[in-house]
Structures are given as structure tokens and as C-alpha cells.
Amino acid sequence: MKFKRSAGIILHPSSLPGPDGIGDLGPEAYRWVDFLADAGCSLWQVLPLGPTGYGDSPYQCFSAFAGNPYLVSPALLLADELLQRADLADRPDFSNEQVDYGAVIPWKVAVLDRACGRFRENASPKLKKEYAVFLKENQYWLPDFALFMALKEHFGGGAWNEWPKEIRSREPNSLTEMGRRLADLIEKHSLRQFFFFRQWKELREYAHQRGIQIIGDIPIFVANDSSDAWSHPELFFMDDQGHPTVVAGVPPDYFSPTGQLWGNPLYNWKVHKASGYSWWIERFKATLRLVDIPRLDHFRGFAGYWEVPGGAVTAEKGRWVKGPGADFFKSIQKALGDFPIIAEDLGEITPDVVALRDQFHLPGMKILQFAFADDPGNDFLPHHYPVNCVAYTGTHDNDTVKGWYESAAEHERDMARRYLARSGDDIAWDFIRAVFSSTAVFALTTMQDVLSLGAEARMNFPGRLGGNWSWRLLPEQLDASLSRRLREMNYLYSRVETENDEQP
């Protein structure tokens, strides 16, 4: 599918302003969409929108299909008369600058429980009908997910492979009995999903009205402690106790002498292929109901992936295993037609990965922060970019541009100044100009770089436990002068059609 030359910003909804300790899908999200549109941006990139677990990472979710209930807006529940103002009277005094998940989660759960109670008591016939349709449309994953979450709560939060054997192995009579006993909890989790998807659908429709497309991640792997692994263990290499026999990671390299041990269960691709990749087809369908352009995280894993024995403490001892390759993408296209995909092709990229990406004409990624370590032959320098790529100043996994510049080796800083023909005093915007002016069809930056923030605003530090995913935008930071500056950049480099579009 052909992309149109455009630009945008990476900002996860959890980073939006708001009074409830975490960004959500309420009024500030609509204000954010307006900011993007006024700035001439037509792309909004988010991280995975699933329910987060241990470590609060959106890349380790309890489901590849479900939404994150912590992003549900109490303000919108109030407008739907599923909350009353008194229900929000005990709101803690949250920080505006960081998400404190330890404080936010119990508050949000309590608010959602109140909304669930009101829905049961006095939801309008229209809302009840919407809920019935939602249940019907999401039969593939929702019953398993709601039961999984109810069981997790019932068993004190433990991983599913620590549950009693009859529940762990999904014995039908035991599941029926637990479904009966936990019916109220199951309904709560189903309603939380209904609230999320209803609010997200309305926000996405508003974004479309303002000319904004949403880019969203599909992590290649799922968490072991997920509804997906529990309800479909046959799709993964697991023993009969629910423990992965092999897990995902990346091998040792210059940056990590022991590699990276991710620990996700690996797919049994033979089983997937035999089913016509039905689970993946359902996953893509679900993703396309949330976003317009999926970004396949760790794309190289579809060509070949690093397999580490289960129970290993590092990723040093592993082997490369061939992925499903072109057969996978042909099957997805046959089932769903041609739709846009961005290939996250970073890391150790071999010729087979490039060939797979190019066979399906998928745009890869270019990160400007990676460009200045050596000489002008570096592929991440803009003069090497093909049109069919997505250029970034940096992503959620990188430091901010200012943070990178302040900590980079002097030869990299010198190369950046020489290449950009700038002093480095406004380095974040120097990077924005470089990617926006490049031939890359899509150019994206982070909101932290738009604000020229330092390392303190970094979203994620891969490999660091704790302290990630917590940065928040302050409401006063979305000002008109910033919007005008971005719009000028978009206009100058043909990423918006006219200089002063009339705003609706």
C-alpha cells in the first residue's frame, strides 16, 4: 500500500495530562488530537494499548487483544452517567509529571468498579445494547480473557502456570465451575473492556475527522503470563506445566555481552501454519480495529529468531531458527487484503530480513540517533534514506535527542554538528528538521523532542527494571507557538498541503 508523505509524533495515551494520575482517553486526548492537526501533523504513534502487568510495560501485556482499562477516562464515564461526582471525591493528589502506577492502579480499579456497579443498576437501554453487541463481536478472545483475569485475581495475582493443575490445563468441568463462582468478577473485566473500546473508538473517529491516522505497535511475542498463552498453549513451545521450553531473546553483541533474555514463549510455527495462521489473522483484525497502520515490532523474528533454552539465565547459549517468512505474510494478505504495515527492522539485520521486508514493499525504520557513530556512509544518515521508510529522531526506547547529545561521545557530537551544519544549541529541533526534510515518506519525532527535554523525560530504558513508562506531558506544554513551529516545518518540507489550512 502506498503511503502519503506525512509527519507525526509518538506519544502514548498514558503520557497525556489529566487529573487521575495517568493519561487517558478523555478530554485531554481530544485536545492532543487538535494540537496534532493544528500543527500540520497527520500521524499519531502510540505504543501497544493492551493491559499492562508486572513492570507496567505495554510490551508485556496480559492479552494481545484486550485494551488497557487504566486508560479509561473517568470524565467520560461521568458524562455517560456511569459515575457521579461523589465517586471521584476521594481522588488522591497525583503527580502531573510522572505516572505512579502503585497509586494509580488501585484508584482506577475502584473507579471502574463503581462504574460497573452503576452499569448493572441503571445503564440506558442504548448502552446495554451496545454492550451486548460488543460481547458478540469479541467472542474470539473476550470470554477467555475475562475468565483469565478473574482467575488471576482469585488466585492472588500469581502467574497462570502456578494455578491448580485442573485450572492451569483448562479442564472443562473445572472452568465451568470457576466461571460460575467468579461470574461477577468476569463481568467486571468484560465491562472494563467495553468501556475502553467504546472510548477508544470515539477518540479514533475524532482523530479521523481531524485528518489524523494512528500508528500502533504489534509486539511479535506475547507474555507468558497472558490469556493468549493460557488459552492457546498449543501455539507455543511449552511443557505440560505451562513453562516455555524455549524463549525469545537476542544474542550477545557489542552492546550486550550476554545478549538480551526476553523470556517470551516462542511460537510453534508449524501449528500456526497448519491452522492457516488463524490466531494471527484474528490478532491483525483486532489491531486494525484500534489503529490504522500497525508497526510490527521485532520484524526480523518473522525471518529468523534467536531461540534460548527455557530456564537459561542469559541469552548467550541459543541458536538462530528460521521464522515463517513469506508464507506468513501471504496468508495474512489473502485473508485480510492489502493493508499498511511498518517493519521495525532494527538490530542485527541479515539479508533474509531485508529480502522479506522488500518482497512485501514494507517501509523499514531509520533512527537519526544511530547515524553519527562513524562516517558519512552510515545508513541512518538522511542522505541514504529510501523514500519507502519511516524516519525517527528517536523512539520510546531511545534517550531523548537532548539526552543523547549530552551523553554522546565527543566524536559523535562533532559529527552531528558538522552534518547538520548547526551549533548543537537547539539539537532536538535540528534533528526534527533533518528527518522532516528527508525523503522518507513518514517522519516522526517524540513529544519529548518537540519540547527539547533531556534524559529525565526518557520513556523507556531497555534492560532497566522499574522507572520506565512514567513520563507525562504537562497541560501548559501544548501551546500555540509550538504548534506553529511544527506546522512551519511540515509546510516547508511538504508534509502538509498548505501553509495555513482552515481548521474545522
For residues 423-435, one letter each, b for 16 or more C-beta atoms within 10 angstroms of the residue's C-beta and e for the rest, the string is eeeebbbbbbbbb
Cβ within 8 Å of residue 72, ≥6 positions away: 24, 25, 108, 112, 192, 195, 196, 199
What gap in Å lies between CA 266 and CA 271, rounded to an integer?
12
Residue closest to 419 by CA, chosen among 369, 455, 457, 461: 369
What gap in Å lies between CA 76 and CA 42, rounded to an integer?
25
What gap in Å lies between CA 194 and CA 66, rounded to an integer?
10
Sheet holding 293-297, edge to edge: 342-343, 293-297, 213-219, 43-46, 6-10, 442-446, 389-392, 364-367
Q: What is the largest CA-CA distance in the chain?
A: 70
**In which element (H, E) is residue 82 found?**
none
What gap in Å lies between CA 209 and CA 36, rounded to an integer?
12
Cβ within 8 Å of residue 138, ≥6 positions away: 65, 193
Task: State the catalytic residues.
Answer: 297, 344, 397
Q: How many CB atoms lie within 10 A of CB 53?
A: 17
**Count of residues making up the chain:** 504
What gap in Å lies between CA 124 and CA 122, rounded to an integer?
6
Residue 76 is classified by DSSP as H
Residue 172 is classified by DSSP as H
Written as one string, the DSSP assignment of 417-484 is HHHHTS-STTHHHHHHHHHHHSS-SEEEEEHHHHTT--GGG-S--TT--SS-S-B---GGGS-HHHHH
Contact 155, 107 (CB under 8 A): no
Please report how the helices 27-38 and 183-209 are oriented relative to each other, as an axis angle in degrees rounded to 10: 20
Residue closest to 450 by CA, chosen among 430, 423, 421, 467: 430
Residue 252 is classified by DSSP as -
